[in-house]
Amino acid sequence: MHPARNSTISAPEMEKIRASYDEIFERCRDTYGCFIHAADPRNALDVPDAEREASTRSCISCRASRSGRELPRRLTNRAANDTITQFVIKKIRARVKDPKVADLLIPKNHGYGTRRVPLESGYYEVYNQPNVKLVDLRATRSTHHGHGSAHE
């Protein structure tokens, strides 16, 4: 649930990036997850809750960040991962007005970052629009396209 933060890169900014390719690629080779940012070396569970939440908020709002400055053990330690997963759950619930819809959008079978992180801009807010309805295919039996039984 990282904002995509896609925007135009100015010509001077692109020149600066191109001039830094060697440094950027070297940095990526030497960092956890091949990010340009060094990961916080501390265990997420050793960081006070308020500091950990502020760090998570900062990483999510940073244009250049995707999770590279995060605490890497959040991907390998379930209790540590639960800290960021709960943060994301609160964010989804805050962005989606209908609690039932929000609950359907919250992943239940994996922790945050253990599968591809969604890079989005306004995805969750779409579910607040009156012309959008979330259909839970796991709970709704479809009779379309050959998915119904032969007895229907």
Q: Is residue 139 part of a domain?
A: no
The SS3 assignment for 54 reads: helix
pLDDT tens, residue by residue, 24-73: 998 888 876 777 776 777 777 777 878 877 777 766 655 444 444 555 56
Q: Is residue 50 part of a domain?
A: yes
pLDDT (0 to 100) of residue 62:
54
* Domains identified in the chain, total number: 1
Nearest to 40 by CA among 26, 29, 54: 54
Host domain of residue 96: 2-126
Q: Is residue 112 part of a domain?
A: yes
β-strands 119-120, 2-3: how paired? Answer: parallel
pLDDT tens, residue by residue, 117-146: 777 888 999 999 999 999 998 887 765 554
Q: What is the chain's Cα-based Rg?
A: 20
Q: Is residue 137 part of a domain?
A: no
Q: Is residue 151 part of a domain?
A: no
Q: Is residue 34 part of a domain?
A: yes
Nearest to 4 by CA among 56, 55, 86, 65: 65
Q: Is the pLDDT of residue 107 over 70?
A: yes
Q: Is residue 141 part of a domain?
A: no
Q: Is residue 148 part of a domain?
A: no
Torsion of CA 113, 9, 6, 65, to 10 degrees: 20
